[in-house]
């Protein structure tokens, strides 16, 4: 009896020893909603590069298949045309929830769809996270601070947002998305992360995006660091370098066409007057800060735009 027991124990131990190794080697399966968009597609590149399996869910409202087309032959990559406003069943370990038009040009185009995406879409993705026990990261925005009365903005600031303006579908939509995220965390024990991204620019941005540039796509690294950290957030991810719009226009002029003229136009409604992230929290707890100054990043984006507009490179070394 004793001998048989020993053999049985050895077999069980052997299996038990092998199993964790297999588990450790299993690839992470990551869902990126809005992964065909500007920020999302850079994130997808990053996750595939490190060996994850990546599923992109996107309705191609503002995103483009071209942004992820280079991954289509990769067996670790899947692209699903789907609107997050509708429920979906998937089995994943992590969810980066980016799906939402981010530029005022697009989100004002259909405000009801924008707020539905933020509220119902986020609810669905949180429901999914709860069901499969996945970690969930929301890409919120500096817009939750509205037209801020504190400068620079720390994460503790509650903001100054117009609930009935033309930007509210986005601002209030994201604020509700943050609320939902925290309620699923507190109420259902979902592991969540909230990033508040400040204006980001770089290659693959829509040519007619219309937003001001302030921070190169380095935010992607911040999103991955946040997802992997033990901190819920919210975290400001942005560039604290401050400049006026006129200073920016001068830099753009220098990079794009020194003979260009600066034109002054009426501002759009509820546009924040001044914004600057306090990123001490991200620096201290995530070890993240932006690395590429405007003067270096801008030419890279300009070259990408040129290639897409005229179909070939200018040959400039950028």
Positions marked active-site? 170
Instruction: List the x/- string, 81-120, binding to ligand UDP by CB under 6 A.
Output: ------xxx-------------------------------
**Residue 127 neighbours by CB distance under 10 Å:** 16
Binder of ligand UDP out of 43, 92, 95, 123 (CB under 6 A): 123
Candidates 127, 240, 272, 299; binder of ligand UDP (CB under 6 A) is 127
Cα 236 to Cα 73: distance, rounded to the nearest angstrom: 35
**Which lies closer to ligand NAD via its Cβ, residue 52 or residue 62?**
62
Residues touching ligand UDP: how many (CB under 6 A)?
9
Contact partners, residue 253, CB within 8 Å, separation at least 6 = 260, 262
Euclidean distance between CA atoms 246 and 209, whole angstroms: 19
Answer whether the bond into residue 174 is a cis peptide, omega within 30°.
no
Q: Which of 131, 154, 186, 274 binds ligand UDP (CB under 6 A)?
A: 131
Q: Which does 234 bind (CB under 5 to 8 A by kind): ligand UDP, ligand NAD, none?
A: none
Q: What's the closest the beta carbon of residue 308 comes to ligand NAD, in angstroms?
A: 14
Closer by beta carbon to ligand UDP, 127 or else 159: 127
d(CA 46, CA 52): 9
Q: By CB under 6 A, is residue 128 in contact with ligand UDP? A: yes
199 binds, among ligand UDP, ligand NAD, none (CB under 5 to 8 A by kind): ligand NAD
- Closest separation in Å from C-beta 88 to ligand UDP: 5
The partner in contact with residue 54, picked from ligand NAD, ligand UDP, none with C-beta cut-offs of 5 to 8 angstroms by kind, is: none
The distance of closest approach from Cβ of residue 186 to ligand NAD in the complex, given in angstroms and rounded to an integer, is: 22
Choose from ligand NAD, ligand UDP, none: what does 83 bind? Cβ within 5-8 Å by kind. Answer: ligand NAD
Using CB distances below 5 to 8 A depending on partner kind, what does residue 212 bind out of ligand UDP, ligand NAD, none? none
Instruction: Quote the least distance from Cβ 253 to ligand NAD, whole Å.
Output: 22
Which of 124, 181, 214, 219 is close enough to bind ligand UDP by CB under 6 A?
124
State which residue, 58 or 155, has the beta carbon closest to ligand NAD: 58
């Amino acid at each position: 009896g004793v001998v048989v027991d020993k053999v049985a124990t050895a077999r069980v131990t052997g299996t038990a020893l092998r199993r964790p190794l297999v588990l450790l080697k299993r690839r992470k399966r990551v869902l990126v909603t809005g992964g065909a968009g500007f920020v999302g597609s850079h994130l997808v590149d990053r996750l595939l590069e490190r060996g994850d399996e990546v599923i992109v869910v996107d309705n191609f409202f503002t995103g483009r298949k071209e942004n992820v087309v280079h991954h289509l032959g990769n067996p670790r990559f899947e692209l699903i045309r789907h609107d997050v406003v509708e429920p979906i069943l998937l089995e994943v370990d992590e969810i980066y929830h980016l799906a939402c038009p981010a530029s005022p040009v697009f989100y004002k185009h259909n405000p009801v769809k924008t707020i539905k995406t933020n509220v119902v879409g986020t609810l669905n993705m949180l429901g999914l996270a709860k069901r499969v026990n996945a970690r969930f990261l929301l890409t919120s925005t500096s817009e939750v601070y509205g037209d801020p009365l504190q400068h620079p903005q720390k994460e503790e600031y509650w903001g100054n947002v117009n609930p009935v303006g033309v930007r509210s579908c986005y601002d209030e939509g994201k604020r509700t998305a943050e609320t939902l995220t925290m309620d699923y965390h507190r109420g259902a024990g979902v592991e969540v992360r909230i990033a508040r991204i400040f204006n980001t620019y770089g290659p693959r941005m829509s040519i007619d995006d219309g937003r001001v540039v302030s921070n190169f796509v380095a935010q992607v690294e911040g999103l991955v660091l946040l997802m992997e950290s033990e901190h819920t957030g919210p975290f400001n991810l942005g560039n604290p370098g401050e400049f006026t719009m006129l200073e920016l226009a001068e830099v753009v002029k220098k990079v794009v066409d020194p003979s260009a003229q600066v034109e002054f136009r009426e501002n759009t409604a509820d546009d924040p007057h001044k914004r600057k992230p306090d990123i001490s929290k991200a620096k201290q707890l995530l070890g993240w800060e932006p690395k590429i100054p405007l003067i270096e990043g801008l030419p890279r984006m300009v070259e990408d735009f040129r290639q897409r507009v005229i179909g070939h490179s200018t040959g400039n070394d950028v």
